[in-house]
Amino acid sequence: MSTHREHAARAADQRAPDVEAVGPAEPSGPRSVRAAGSPTGTETLRRVRDGNGLLAAAAMRRLDEDLAWYRALPAEDRSWVGLVAQAGINAFVTWFSDPSTPPHGVGEIFAAAPPELTRSISLQHTLQLVRVVVDVVETHSDQLAAPGGERDLREAVLRYSREVAFSAAEVYARDAEVRGAWDARLEALVVDALVRGEVDDSVRSRVAALGWSGRGSTLVMVGTTSAPLDDVRAADLRRATQRAADDALVGILGERLVVFLGGDGDLQVAALSLLPRFGPGPVVIGPPAGHLADAARSAHAALAGLVAAPAWAQAPRPVQADDLLPERVLIGDATARRALVAQAYVPLAASTGSLLETLTAYLGTGRSLEAAARVLYVHPNTVRYRLRRVADVTGWDPLDPRESYVLQTAVAIGRLGEDA
């Protein structure tokens, strides 16, 4: 036993100097941070600098082989992307010489390129570009690194690419916020111009800038907001409208909410899906529109209907603006007045068969077929037949309580116009 303990003590004494020779433990952290100051790291840095051109040429070949969007770029833009790739490699070499400094951000790497290029290359394209450059450096790490420094170089590339990727995400996020705020202001201007009926070339250009394709028809719906819309709720509402239809514009005019929907799909169904987004009270849908000028007139009719809707207690939700013509006449809407005269009074006055006379008698006798027949000296079935003719001519059925009110309003304003 004593012999065994003596051997163990001598072995420990022999190991002790080895521990002292190693010295204090190395600081923790990525090997790439420590590599540049070591002899191996210095040699690797020299080789990386000397191989800068090799890396750039290899990166350009990989871009052309792997990225279809790069091959589709014009020659000038491809040359700018090449400069960006070269700038990224140079920035890595600069950082590798002193990893304690923060890496260059995407903004500095793109500084050599024109601003138009940064707007045409998406975040996804930028990250693909970073991935290709990283893969190229990794592929050549055994060739560029000094013996024993291959792992350090690979880790340095991975760390640098991570920092550049985070920087790219931040840059594009800031740009998206700025672009979103600008688009919201531009959208507000467009909606305001359409509501006021000011449709000119500048409005058409702004609508196009917002991505409005102009395909299919257009529908306008207006209502109120349940509460003041902050930026977050407004952005959520815009996303909902964009999911509902191919084209969408949202305007917030005080407590009024104005939504333009466009496209080839069923816009009535899209409008119904957005109904919960509106606050309490009536929601009015304007007449169908084919282009921007019609959309402006439709918005005018819908907004007038929103003001007039409380006069019809049984109005559905949503309600068509054209179903509110009598109420719109009461608030002084000249468009509704002209529409009623043109659609009801003028056709009846021009028709044969005493349709206008029969309708007047029917309305004036409390909507009684028998009483109207006595006034006209005809059979009640004749009155009923003529009233069906009235429905065919005007589209409104005098036997329906609501539609007979519409016709009565149309006859009244039509006669006022004749007397004037």
Q: Tens digit of pLDDT for each residue in 204-231?
A: 877 887 778 878 889 999 999 877 766 6
Q: Which of 207-211, 286-290, 326-330 has the highest mean pLDDT?
A: 326-330
Strands 217-224 and 256-263: antiparallel
Phi, psi of 250 (to 5 degrees): -125, 130
d(CA 361, CA 278): 43
Q: Is residue 12 part of a domain?
A: no
Give the list of residues 6+ apart from residue 238 with CB closer than 8 angstroms, or none: 184, 187, 248, 250
Q: Mark whether 340 and 324 lie in a shared domain.
A: no
Q: Mark whether 171 and 40 lie in a shared domain.
A: yes
Q: Is residue 11 part of a domain?
A: no
Domain boundary among 280, 308, 328: 328
Q: Mark whether 129 and 106 lie in a shared domain.
A: yes
The CA-based diameter of the chain, rounded to the nearest angstrom, is: 143
The closest of 385, 390, 363, 387 to 375, measured between CA atoms, is 363
The closest of 113, 96, 115, 114 to 55, measured between CA atoms, is 96
End-to-end CA distance of the chain: 132
pLDDT given at position 242: 84
Token pair of 378, please?
A: 């005809």
Token pair of 122, please?
A: 């998406």
CATH of the domain at 319: 3.30.70.2730
pLDDT given at position 34: 41
Q: Mark whether 57 and 152 lie in a shared domain.
A: yes
Q: Mark whether 265 and 324 lie in a shared domain.
A: yes
Q: Mark whether 280 and 316 lie in a shared domain.
A: yes
- Region at 263 (left for phi over 0; alpha for psi -120 to 50; beta for the rest): left
Domain count within the chain: 3
Q: Is residue 162 part of a domain?
A: yes
Q: Is residue 293 part of a domain?
A: yes
Q: Which residue segment(s) compose the domain that 368 sits in?
A: 333-419
Q: What is the average pLDDT across 400-406?
A: 95
Q: Is residue 191 part of a domain?
A: no
Cα dihedral angle (371, 374, 378, 381), rounded to 10 degrees?
30
d(CA 13, CA 288): 97
Q: Mark whether 398 and 311 lie in a shared domain.
A: no
Contact call for residues 236 and 230 (beta carbons, < 8 A): no
Q: Is residue 201 part of a domain?
A: no
The closest of 410, 275, 273, 279 to 349, measured between CA atoms, is 410
* pLDDT at residue 123 is higher than 90: no
pLDDT given at position 19: 36
Share of the chain above pLDDT 70, in %: 76
Q: Mark whether 262 and 343 lie in a shared domain.
A: no
d(CA 71, CA 116): 18
Q: Could you tell me the CA-to-CA distances from 89 to 127, 314, 381 in Å, in that order? A: 14, 71, 93
Token pair of 391, please?
A: 């429905």
* pLDDT at residue 181 is higher than 80: no
Contact call for residues 253 and 192 (beta carbons, < 8 A): yes
d(CA 58, CA 27): 35
pLDDT in tens, 45-93: 777 777 777 777 888 888 888 888 888 878 877 787 777 777 777 777 7
The closest of 74, 91, 84 to 127, measured between CA atoms, is 84
